[in-house]
Amino acid sequence: MSCGPTEILARSLTLRRRQGLSAYLDLLVEKALRAKEEMVGRREGKVVTGVFERLGYMTAESFKITNYPRRPLVAFNPSATIRDDKLYLFVRFVFDYYDYVSSIGVSEVELEAIDELPRMILDSKIIIYPSTKDEIKRGAEDPRAHNFEDGFLIFYTAVGLRDGELWPKQAVAVLDNNFNVKEKGVLKLGDYIPPAWKNTAMLNYNGKYLMILTRPLIEGHEVVWRATLSRDNWTVDPKEMEVAMVAEPFELKVGVSTPPVRLSSNELLIGWHAIYKEDLSYRNGVAVVTPEGEIIGISEYLLTPSTIEEMYGDRPMVIYGCGLVKKDEYVYWIGGVADYGIGIYRAEIDKVLEHVKWLRG
């Protein structure tokens, strides 16, 4: 039931006319077009090997679901947070291949045991599942989890229907410290919900406003934006949006993969992914950003699919976010592989930063 870029653009234009949207969408299109000219050339498309060590893989058999009677068929695209020396994994589960409906579960492990994850069996509790009209078709996909207030905040893709077609919205859930969902919502641009919206990570927040990196589809354009999100109504003011990153000519698209790891008071490390045009593989790099979302340093591809576990699956040739955490001198990238499993990758932070190209002095 998917549709192509032409159909998506036509639906967006139709909805725009129906809602009488203002000229702010024209302004965003102008910014996107200008960025696609000015921001290209920052990367060459090189593959750098040997930076991340592969510690191993996890599959659906690595998880025991504690609050739902079925066994998952796949477990992939996890996010992660650290709190009080505990590592929390937020994993996307699918229990059927009939309609591929996703949910998000959480597992807890001692941070000191992170290297042992590929050899562990973890209890997991389903915490986000279809419960609104926004999730009625394919549920809740690809979390980005953050520590937030006294609990957690998770951005995820909620896939429902509009006019008989899939409608992926950028959803948000606020959880208490026992993982109970206190609030669910979907992000909006003013009063407008684009025909597709994915890949959101929070950089910082001050209570009422969250600074985010995000990728809505705007009149056929998919670029990474930095934006301010209102905590009150989950609305982004489009007038304040600025482009943070664009795809290079050798890529179909780019997106933000992970929530940030703090390097210093004004530097955050994030992971990003790109679909490489030549073979349609998902490839990954890192970027250093300010708390306001400006990218000040970026790498080439540091993590690309190469093993059979990463090459062969429900969607071949994929390593995809969505977790990045720091322990001692290491950064751990906990990513989905081939839409069925999870890879655990480790690298020395200094070694990662050696491959960052700084964009300003």
Q: Is the pLDDT of residue 103 over 50?
A: yes
Q: What is the pLDDT of residue 24?
A: 84
Q: Is the pLDDT of residue 17 over 90?
A: no
Give percent above pLDDT 70 in the chain: 94
pLDDT band at 190 (very low <50, low <70, confident <90, very high): confident
- How many angstroms separate the CA atoms of 340 and 315, rounded? 8
Cα three-residue angle 76-263-175, rounded to 5 degrees = 45
Q: Is the pLDDT of residue 1 over 50?
A: no
| Listed residue (141, 183, 181) closest to 159, CA to CA | 141
- How many angstroms separate the CA atoms of 31 and 216, rounded? 14
- How many angstroms separate the CA atoms of 246 and 237, rounded? 20
Q: What is the pLDDT of residue 3?
A: 52
pLDDT band at 191 (very low <50, low <70, confident <90, very high): confident
Beta-carbon contacts of 349 under 8 Å, excluding residues fewer than 6 positions away, are: 263, 269, 326, 329, 330, 331
Fold of the 5-358 domain: Tachylectin-2; Chain A (2.115.10)
Q: Is the pLDDT of residue 218 over 70?
A: yes
- How many angstroms separate the CA atoms of 311 and 284, rounded? 14
The alpha helices in the chain, defined as continuous H runs, are: 5-19, 24-38, 308-311, 349-353
Task: Label residue 161 exposed, middle or buried (CB < 10 Å: 0-12, 13-18, 19+).
Answer: middle
pLDDT band at 23 (very low <50, low <70, confident <90, very high): confident
Mean pLDDT of the chain: 94
Q: With left for phi above 0 and alpha for psi between -120 and 50, is residue 219 left, alpha or beta?
A: left
Assess contact for 193 and 185: CB atoms under 8 A: no
Q: What is the mean pLDDT of residues 193-220?
A: 96
| Listed residue (188, 137, 196) closest to 7, CA to CA | 196
pLDDT band at 360 (very low <50, low <70, confident <90, very high): confident
pLDDT band at 258 (very low <50, low <70, confident <90, very high): very high
pLDDT by residue (tens digit) across 57-89? 999 999 999 999 999 999 999 999 999 999 999
- Both tokens assigned to 264: 């210093």
Q: Is the pLDDT of residue 161 over 60?
A: yes
Domain ranges of the chain: 5-358
- Both tokens assigned to 268: 């955050």
- How many angstroms separate the CA atoms of 50 and 73, rounded? 31
- When mean pLDDT is compared across 2-16, 31-45, 128-142, the lowest value belongs to 2-16
Number of continuous H segments (helices) and E segments (strands) in the chain: 4, 26
Q: Is the pLDDT of residue 252 over 90?
A: yes
For residue 290, the one-letter residue type is T
| Listed residue (282, 270, 302, 138) closest to 202, CA to CA | 270
- Both tokens assigned to 292: 């306001």
- How many angstroms separate the CA atoms of 334 and 319, rounded? 10
Q: Is the pLDDT of residue 20 over 60?
A: no
pLDDT by residue (tens digit) across 264-286? 999 999 999 999 999 999 999 99
Q: What is the pLDDT of residue 21?
A: 59
Provide the whole-model pTM. 0.93
Rg (CA), the chain: 19
Q: Is the pLDDT of residue 4 over 80?
A: no
Element (H, E) at 169: strand 165-175
Q: What is the mean pLDDT of residues 113-136?
A: 97
Beta-carbon contacts of 331 under 8 Å, excluding residues fewer than 6 positions away, are: 261, 269, 324, 325, 346, 347, 348, 349, 352
- Both tokens assigned to 283: 């490839």
- How many angstroms separate the CA atoms of 342 and 339, rounded? 9
Beta-carbon contacts of 172 under 8 Å, excluding residues fewer than 6 positions away, are: 153, 154, 155, 156, 184, 185, 186, 187, 200, 234
- How many angstroms separate the CA atoms of 170 and 157, rounded? 5
